[in-house]
Amino acid sequence: MKILKVCSACLLLLALVFCSKGPEPKDKVLEAKVERLLSQMTLEEKIGQMNQISSFGNIEDMSVLIKRGEVGSILNEVDPVKVNALQRVAMEESRLGIPLLIARDVIHGFKTIFPIPLGQAASFNPEIAEAGARISAIEASSVGIRWTFAPMIDIARDPRWGRIAEGCGEDTYLTSVMGAAMVKGYQGDSLNHPTSIAACPKHFVGYGAGEGGRDYASTFIPERLLRNVYLPPFEAAARAGAATYMTSFNDNDGVPSTGNAFILKNILRDEWGFDGLVVTDWASAVEMIPHGFAANEKEVALKSVNAGVDMEMVSYTFVKYLPGLTKEGKVKQHTIDNAVRNILRLKLRLGLFDNPFVDENQGSVLYAESHLETAKKAAVESAVLLKNENEILPLKENIKTVAVVGPMADAPHDQLGTWVFDGEKAHTQTPLKAIREMYGDKVQVIYEPGLKYSRDRNTEGIARAATTAARADVILTFVGEEAILSGEAHCLADLKLVGAQSELIAALRNTGKPLVTIVMAGRPLTIRKEVELSDAVLYNFHPGTMGGPAIADLLFGKEVPSGKLPVTFPKMVGQIPIYYAHNNTGRPPLGNETLLYDIPVEAGQTSLGNRSFYLDAGVDPLYPFGYGLSYTTFAYNNIRLSSNEYTEQDTIKIAFDLENTGKYTATEVVQLYIQDKVASVTRPVKELKGFERITLKAGEKQTIAMEVPVSELAFWNIDMVKVVEPGDFGLWIAGDSQSGNEVLFKVVG
């Protein structure tokens, strides 16, 4: 009997949620410093701290604003010489010498670029996400950045939304675990360490539910759904000690987040005890005018500050209107004072008053070898094997010539993905480069892009690519999306491969040679046809600087794929929204529904059975949440629970046998799902409540132990109270959200 393994992810989240740092404990000395400084500040100086500007490069002009005490923070300045110059003006030439908060969007790396967060989520490995955030903080802080606008933890269930790339996918539990790990990575063990940077969970809240998958669109999330699905990752981040939060662009049920006191005060402050800083998104305050929620900039300032915003990003209404509004009594002095307390508290916690300056020669940490190695590991673990017919992968010894084809094979800029301001494409190691350098001694590499870039509709190169590819023993075609096709404001109404990529794949298929399709994208794509044409498909959510070496090692078998989908893949756009943790409805599909072309002519009105499904698409996705293949196979057996009845105070202990029934040492992400079968409101058909990466040698079998406190089954019920309701529950342990055998248990009152 092998060693019992306990679910580390469950323990990690439990540690984060129940016994983690949470909001920093009140530091009496620090609070006294805050009060002492506050008491010396004029109203204008206080309001100046609440103003964030974006660097426009001109130090002299920015210095004028800083000297006037009009700037509390600057984003988008990454030149350490300029950062030091600006800090020196703030410390030595403003009346009170208050240092600046220097901020940047360090979303998945600063110089060393990691897989986009959606890819990191596919690793189901919070430790690699934390390591990536830690490295990002080390590199960013080396140029003077001490605040990042990350992690983005918006739950996203609509892949038409370009920003699905930036988050951790559709699942509340996975996003909670990964987001909390990223917060810990950015902030380190203590905020005042010079390599720590303040995290900023965003976008608070519900931004990923925009109508039609359109960015900035209105959302209509009722409070119960907000509390059961969209808020928990932000609460987990708060319990992990997140230092700041950013308001989201969307209006939810008619209220823009930047003017929403319910979320910014009732929930964030009163319920969660958050004592950090709330910043708006870029101009999200003044955008309450086009929202139709504020008539003018004065009302913008009034509504956002009274709703609980501490700092305004770039739209300047605080500086312009808060002095007057305060004198008119429409904004209370204590509102201003509390906002400034939150800002000063963060600056003190970061140690900026002691030393806001940075060593201007710290280039050595940028792209450090260890950073690149970690980025490669992250890219390996983020890759998801969707298909592998006849075990074409990993490439075998008898393969002597490989054809590398496609617009993403050597795309150093696009491989990095969205939200890359500082990573340089010159450092990107592409698949073509990596295969040539790492495996050029084993195989002859012939390269023909076929298309110049993903949207290329010029098919002239396809014939040449196919002719070249026909000479090879195997074809490796790299397709997907350029970086610009996902991310902010980059939404798509259709998710098929853009340009002539599909034609390229068809032409390669016609050569009759084994065809491996490697996708690099910022989101799920509707690639059913291309999957059918391919013998194997490896899916990478823009893998970052080291994507090439990672993919090369996966293709040639030095590494084995372990990634699992953090988001459901629809067959077609018409199925969206489509996600595994859906409600059952009163007429769930039975799985035997007659589909479009099997319907008899003149079929009777009710002959098809009135169930919830699509005549032309059924109800199943192309691939479910949690899905991912390996080069080996795993068998799950003998799942047993410590009891079949639990009280709310109990912990459900699960044990099962996992066996590696294949030929390769490999890692499986075992997933634990639970369903609350009957409750005071309808509940999802299943919800992820635990996962862990288990590595087994070929033929090895282990008994794995996982556990879930019954308290983790709590939800906001019909009375809007968070409780565990007694009743019947189902539990699955499997390798994806659609597999596994159900085990039943009860919770008794």
* Between 105 and 381, CB nearer to ligand GLC: 105
* Between 149 and 367, CB nearer to ligand GLC: 149
Angstrom CA distances, 257 to 67, 104, 589, stand at 32, 21, 37
Q: φ and ψ at 727, to 5 degrees?
A: 150, -165
* Between 106 and 531, CB nearer to ligand GLC: 106
Residues 369-408 within binding reach of ligand GLC (CB under 6 A): none
Alpha-carbon distance of 120 to 708, in angstroms, equals 24
Alpha-carbon distance of 530 to 540, in angstroms, equals 15
Q: What is the DSSP letter of 14?
A: H
Residues 130-189 within binding reach of ligand GLC (CB under 6 A): 149
Buried b (16+ CB within 10 A) or exposed e, 79-112: ebebbbbbbebbbeebeeebbbbbbbbbbbbbbb
- Site pattern 237..276 for ligand GLC (x: CB under 6 A): ----------------------------------------
* Between 105 and 235, CB nearer to ligand GLC: 105
- Site pattern 435..474 for ligand GLC (x: CB under 6 A): ----------------------------------------
**# residues near ligand GLC by CB under 6 A:** 6
* Between 53 and 465, CB nearer to ligand GLC: 53
Binding to ligand GLC by residue 625, rule CB under 6 A? no
Catalytic residue chosen out of the listed positions 281, 414, 456, 736: 281
Q: Which amino acid is at 208?
A: G
* Between 208 and 561, CB nearer to ligand GLC: 208
**DSSP line for 614-644:** BTTTBS--SB-TT--B-SS-EEEEEEEES-S
Give the Cα-Cα-Cα angle 110, 234, 174 (nearest 5 degrees): 80
* Between 125 and 244, CB nearer to ligand GLC: 244
Residues 101-120 within binding reach of ligand GLC (CB under 6 A): 105
Q: Which two tokens stand for residue 536?
A: 């194997």
The least CB distance from residue 88 to ligand GLC, in Å, is 25
Contact 126, 181 (CB under 8 A): yes
Contact 670, 719 (CB under 8 A): no
* Between 268 and 451, CB nearer to ligand GLC: 268
Name which of 472, 359, 382 is nearest 80 in CA terms.
359
The least CB distance from residue 423 to ligand GLC, in Å, is 16
To 10 degrees, the CA torsion angle through 438, 444, 449, 453? -10
The least CB distance from residue 536 to ligand GLC, in Å, is 36
Alpha-carbon distance of 699 to 676, in angstroms, equals 35
Contact 272, 235 (CB under 8 A): yes
* Between 105 and 668, CB nearer to ligand GLC: 105
- Site pattern 478..507 for ligand GLC (x: CB under 6 A): ----------x-------------------
Contact 550, 372 (CB under 8 A): no
Options 124, 204, 282, 623; binder of ligand GLC; rule CB under 6 A: 282
Alpha-carbon distance of 265 to 312, in angstroms, equals 16
The least CB distance from residue 314 to ligand GLC, in Å, is 8
The least CB distance from residue 146 to ligand GLC, in Å, is 15
**DSSP line for 474-528:** EEEEEEE--GGGSSTT---S--SPPTTHHHHHHHHHTTTS-EEEEEEESS----H
The least CB distance from residue 82 to ligand GLC, in Å, is 18
* Between 196 and 244, CB nearer to ligand GLC: 244
* Between 311 and 466, CB nearer to ligand GLC: 311
Options 70, 130, 281, 448; binder of ligand GLC; rule CB under 6 A: 281
The least CB distance from residue 342 to ligand GLC, in Å, is 18
Is 456 one of the annotated active-site residues of the chain? Answer: no
Contact 657, 702 (CB under 8 A): yes
The least CB distance from residue 202 to ligand GLC, in Å, is 6
The least CB distance from residue 372 to ligand GLC, in Å, is 26
From first CA to last CA, the distance across the chain in angstroms is 36
Contact 247, 281 (CB under 8 A): yes
To 10 degrees, the CA torsion angle through 72, 77, 79, 80? 20
Alpha-carbon distance of 536 to 630, in angstroms, equals 12
The least CB distance from residue 711 to ligand GLC, in Å, is 33
Which residues are paired to 255 by β-bridges?
Answer: 252
CA 640, chain centre distance (Å): 33
The least CB distance from residue 428 to ligand GLC, in Å, is 23
The least CB distance from residue 83 to ligand GLC, in Å, is 17
Binding to ligand GLC by residue 215, rule CB under 6 A? no
* Between 314 and 743, CB nearer to ligand GLC: 314
Bond from prior residue into 394 cis (ω within 30 degrees of 0) = yes
Binding to ligand GLC by residue 202, rule CB under 6 A? yes
* Between 165 and 469, CB nearer to ligand GLC: 165
The least CB distance from residue 78 to ligand GLC, in Å, is 13
Name which of 662, 656, 622 is nearest 734 in CA terms.
656
Contact 391, 663 (CB under 8 A): no
Question: Residue 373: which H helix or E strand, with range?
Answer: helix 369-382
Contact 408, 456 (CB under 8 A): no
Angstrom CA distances, 172 to 183, 586, 688, stand at 16, 24, 8
Phi-psi region of 384 (alpha: psi -120 to 50; beta: other; left: phi over 0): beta
**DSSP line for 308-361:** T--BEES--HHHHHHHHHHHTTSS-HHHHHHHHHHHHHHHHHTTTTT-----TT
Residues noted as catalytic: 281
Interface ranges with ligand GLC (CB under 6 A): 105, 149, 202, 281-282, 488
